[in-house]
Every structure is written in C-alpha cells, then in structure tokens.
Amino acid sequence: MPINVKWSESLVEQAKVFGIVEHRSVPKQIQYGSQTRKVAQKNPDLTFSLLREILIADQEPVIGEYVFSSCVE
C-alpha cells in the first residue's frame, strides 16, 4: 500500500546520486538501502559484496531442478 512520506533533502540527494549509478529511481534506491541495512543487521559477519550478491540472487526467477538427459551416440 503506497503512502506519502516526507524525506530529508540530504537523504533524497544521496538516493539520487546512488540511484543514477545503479539505474534506480529515488524511491527504489531508498527501498534498496532499507532492505540492505535490514539484511546487514541480521548478518553482521557478511561483507557488503556478499550481501549484494544475495539480494541480486533473490530477485532472479526460480528455474527448477536440472534434469540430465542421456547421451545417445
């Protein structure tokens, strides 16, 4: 459910800068930052790079189990 929120000017400016680099809108960049901080707080032993890879992998579609076919020569 969307709601209106008043953000500080400095937060919006930071989100703009990083959003441009990551090709995200300001709201999506703020959402990404919030999600990243939440995961980082739950996993303080993981590096940011690893956390980022986990978040990216979570967005990928589930493919399912690979089925090997037999080779007939």
- Domain tally for the chain? 1
Residue range(s) defining the domain that contains residue 20: 9-56
- Residue 28 in domain: yes
pLDDT digits (tens, 9 = 90+) for 17-29: 999 998 999 999 9
Q: Do residues 19 and 25 touch, judged by C-beta distance below 8 A?
A: yes
- Residue 35 in domain: yes
pLDDT digits (tens, 9 = 90+) for 33-57: 888 889 899 999 999 899 888 888 8
- Residue 70 in domain: no
- Residue 67 in domain: no
- Residue 45 in domain: yes
pTM of structure: 0.64
Q: Do residues 39 and 48 touch, judged by C-beta distance below 8 A?
A: no
Residue 37 CA: distances (Å) to CA of 9, 12, 15, 51: 20, 17, 14, 10
